[in-house]
Structures are given as C-alpha cells and as structure tokens.
C-alpha cells in the first residue's frame, strides 16, 4: 500500500485501484474536537482538488479536498454517528472516502511521509 500527502493535509492510501482518503493527524489536531462530518454520495465523480467533504469542529468548519481524481465507491458512514473518530484515528479508522482511481499518475505529484514531515516542520 502506498500513502501520499497533500499540502492541504489530506492523505491518500492506495491499494490496487482504490484510494482511501482522509485528513492527516496534523489537520485533525489543528481543527480540535470534530463534531460533524458531511460526506459525498457514493457514485460521485471528483477531480483532484475538488471539495469532497466538510468537517466541522468546535473551532471551525473546513473543506476536505480530493487528493486524487476518481469515483466515490464508499464513504465512512461511522463518522455520521461518531465524528470524533476523525480525532481518534485521523489516518486510520477516521478515513472519509474511498475512490476508484481514474488517473493514478496524479499520485506522483503528492508527498511521501518523509516529504510531508519536512513540510510540517517548515510550517
């Protein structure tokens, strides 16, 4: 499995042609306690950079962007009843969507973990 990161603090873990996407632990920490997550409908076609979800915390509401292009094939419905799952496991069980990739080459422009950690260190 390959995991990549965006400068907007989204992550994408790719297995085969399916990409699981969410926000990073850093983003979840910056948001504070998440109280609501709005997810897209299964079947929606998204392009890299499109808004795909909204996450609301006690501090702010933030858009979540698609790190890659694809078709939404699954959403993490557990977050509807337990949005705190984002804070508890932002980069594991707190995932937002699964996409069927339409352009795997887009992954090449994203950061690996070491590059993302260096990016965070510069913030």
Q: How many domains does the chain have?
A: 1
CATH code of the domain containing 51: 2.40.50.100
**Residues 64-103 pLDDT 10s:** 999 999 999 999 999 999 999 999 999 999 999 999 999 9
Burial (CB count within 10 angstroms: exposed 0-12, middle 13-18, buried 19+), residue 71:
middle
What is the biggest distance separating any 2 CA atoms in the chain, rounded to whole angstroms?
37
**Residues 3-39 pLDDT 10s:** 999 999 999 999 999 999 999 999 999 999 999 999 9
In-domain check, residue 52: yes
Tell me if residue 66 falls in helix, strand or coil. coil
| CB-CB contact of 71 with 50 (8 Å) | no
In-domain check, residue 106: no
Q: What is the pTM of this model?
A: 0.95
Domain that holds residue 75: 2-101+111-121
Tokens 């499109």 correspond to 50
């Amino acid at each position: 499995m390959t995991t990549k990161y965006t400068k907007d603090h989204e992550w994408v873990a790719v297995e085969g042609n399916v990409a699981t996407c969410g926000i990073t632990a850093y983003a979840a920490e910056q948001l504070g306690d998440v109280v609501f997550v709005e997810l897209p409908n299964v079947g929606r076609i998204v392009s890299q950079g499109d808004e795909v979800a909204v996450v609301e915390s006690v501090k702010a509401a933030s858009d979540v962007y698609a790190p890659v292009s694809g078709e939404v094939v699954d959403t993490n419905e557990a977050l509807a009843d337990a949005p705190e799952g984002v804070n508890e496991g932002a980069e594991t069980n707190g995932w937002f969507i699964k996409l069927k990739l339409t352009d795997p080459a887009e992954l090449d422009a994203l950061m690996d973990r070491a590059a993302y950690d260096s990016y965070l260190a510069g913030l």
